Amino acid sequence: MKNKKLVMIPGPTPVTRSIQDQMGRETVAFGDPDFINDFKEVIKDLKEIFKTKGEAFVVAGSGTLAMEMGIANVTKEGDNVLVVSNGFFGDRYVELCERRGLKVDVLSAEWGSVVTPEEIDNKLKEKVYKAITVTHVDTSTGVCAPIAEIGEVVKKYEDTIFIVDGVCATAAEPEYLDEMGIDVLITGSQKALGVPPGLAIVLAGEKALGRRKSLGTIRDYYVDFEKWIPVMNDPSKYFATPPVNMIWALKEALKIIKEEGVENRYQRHKKVARAMQAALEELGFKLLAKKEYRAVSLSNALYMEGIEDAEFRKILAEEGVVVAGGLGAYAGKMFRLGHMGNIDNHFLVSTISAIERTLYRLGKEDVLGRGLKVLLEELAK
């Protein structure tokens, strides 16, 4: 029998049946009283889970649109902005900001490492930056930035808005806006939230909302906080047609998170990541991210001598697991394995065992069961 293909890429992640069911519901009018209540609950839950007294925004879009929404509401042309880049998506923010006429300085880390809070502190001392952006987990490298520590640093600079790109981290790594000093959190639906792709999700604390107000009318329309705030506070109001089914799917995803407990969810991701990473290392892969900076949401595994990317991923897909290829300089040199969102032990065991079967088919005879043993031992701790 053909193996079912498990979607173990760093997003979209596997979607539970209960979320699929929400996607597949008969669409209602966006003015439907039940839908209005559902939308209200989604906004309330987001603000509670990510702990902000500010606002939450859920709009049809993608993580990239959320990036634009994040920067558009807190900066104006000519402002200094500091982009901290630990990989591909950090670099994307550079281009996005430069197009907007922002004066961009960049702090980059070597791929696999991170820019430290100290480096950021030193840079912020140099001049007034109106905003700083940090990618929490860069899917290109599998590293996790020390957001809480960076938040402590940025808090000292009252003119600087701290934008965190949480696309590959939100709901896997702790992100508490008000206490961590995150002013804007941007994310998408299809990663650790476990919803299909199609939503841009943005949270903004009071400092960011104050900045937005001070800007007056901005050039952007669809991503303007001011257009959406009335709707997010009272979804019976209209700005643009809300993606009804996607919002239902998000509601179900948030229900799953609340049932698990968000702290438990973060702990689970940590345990799962350490177990998966230990299993991958046992099987002979080296991980791109240095141990102290490894993300919990994905692992980027460098191929050992003699394993060829296209062939590995083709056989692995036959064995029932889809992973993503490397980006940039690491294209062809590694695969990216997502292990976030609503996945249980069956997914983990299936994934490691499919990787073992793949390596075996590629001539590595001593692998069967070895990664699995380490995985189970780590999970049992």
> Which positions lie near a copy of itself, rule CB under 8 A?
5, 7, 9, 11-12, 14-15, 20-21, 23-32, 59-65, 67-68, 95-96, 99-101, 188, 190, 196-200, 217-222, 239-246, 322, 324
CB of 89 to a copy of itself, least distance (A): 11
Q: Which CB atom, from 70 or from 142, has the smaller least distance to a copy of itself?
A: 70
Q: How many angstroms separate the CA atoms of 236 and 29, rounded?
A: 11
Q: Which CB atom, from 180 or from 199, has the smaller least distance to a copy of itself?
A: 199
CB of 117 to a copy of itself, least distance (A): 28
Q: Which CB atom, from 99 or from 156, has the smaller least distance to a copy of itself?
A: 99
The DSSP code for 113 is: B
Query: Which residue has 């599998």 as its token pair?
Result: 142
- 3-class DSSP assignment, residue 74: coil
Q: Is the sign of the CA dihedral 376, 288, 162, 55 positive or negative?
A: negative
Report in angstroms the alpha-carbon separations of 56 from 46, 185, 187, 234.
7, 9, 11, 12
CB of 317 to a copy of itself, least distance (A): 9
Q: Which CB atom, from 108 or from 245, has the smaller least distance to a copy of itself?
A: 245
User: Which are the contacts of 326, defined by CB distance < 8 A and separation ≥ 6?
Assistant: 140, 300, 309, 332, 333, 334, 335, 336
What is the residue type of 290? Answer: K
CB of 1 to a copy of itself, least distance (A): 17
CB of 230 to a copy of itself, least distance (A): 15
User: Which are the contacts of 44, defined by CB distance < 8 A and separation ≥ 6?
Assistant: none
- 3-class DSSP assignment, residue 69: helix
CB of 83 to a copy of itself, least distance (A): 14
Least Cα distance to 320 among 285, 350, 344 occurs for: 350
Q: Which CB atom, from 24 or from 230, has the smaller least distance to a copy of itself?
A: 24
For the record, the structure tokens of 95 come out as 């281009």
Q: Which CB atom, from 114 or from 223, has the smaller least distance to a copy of itself?
A: 223
